[in-house]
């Protein structure tokens, strides 16, 4: 166990649904990240938060909306997704920005039908 948990582990949703992914870290870290992992592609950084403030958004479509209410929790709100958004969504945390060691959760396997 890395100290980073994600729920749900699996999610199937239609293109008109709204759902949210949740991440929680129990490591006392101050930075949290969302990554997308698609088949045969490198992990793609989506969002970075430090002390609940978003510091990076890698040109992610607006149908993905992150929220970080405190340094232990990170959400990814999903709406009007496309089938190509089906992927494994990974959350990670690190002690702080610039502290490079990142610890990943198990991911949420998302299928958009």
Partner 1 sequence: GENVEQHPSTLSVQEGDSAVIKCTYSDSASNYFPWYKQELGKGPQLIIDIRSNVGEKKDQRIAVTLNKTAKHFSLHITETQPEDSAVYFCAASKRGADGLTFGKGTHLIIQP
Binding site for partner 1 (CB under 8 A): 2, 4, 6, 31, 33, 35, 40-43, 45, 48, 50, 55-56, 58, 90, 92, 97-98, 100-107
* Token digits of residue 58: 């890698």
Which helix (H) or strand (E) segment is 74 a member of? strand 73-79
Instruction: Give Rg (Cα) of the chain.
Output: 13
- Least distance in Å: CB of 92 to partner 1? 8
- Least distance in Å: CB of 8 to partner 1? 14
Question: Smallest Cα–Cα separation from 27: which of 52, 6, 5?
Answer: 5
**Closer by beta carbon to partner 1, 1 or else 84:** 1
**Closer by beta carbon to partner 1, 40 or else 84:** 40
* Token digits of residue 7: 């729920």
**Closer by beta carbon to partner 1, 31 or else 112:** 31
Residue found under tokens 């101050």: 30
- Least distance in Å: CB of 55 to partner 1? 6
N- to C-terminal Cα separation, the chain: 31
**Closer by beta carbon to partner 1, 75 or else 103:** 103
């Amino acid at each position: 166990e890395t100290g980073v948990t994600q729920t749900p582990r699996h999610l199937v949703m239609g293109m008109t649904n709204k759902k949210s992914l949740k991440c929680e870290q129990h490591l006392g870290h101050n930075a949290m990240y969302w990554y997308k992992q698609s088949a045969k592609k490198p992990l793609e950084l989506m969002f970075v938060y430090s002390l609940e403030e978003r510091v990076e958004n890698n040109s992610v479509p607006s149908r993905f909306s992150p929220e970080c209410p405190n340094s232990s929790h990170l959400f990814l709100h999903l709406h009007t997704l496309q089938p190509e958004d089906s992927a494994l969504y990974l959350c990670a945390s690190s002690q702080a920005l610039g502290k490079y060691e990142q610890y990943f959760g198990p991911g949420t396997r998302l299928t958009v039908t």
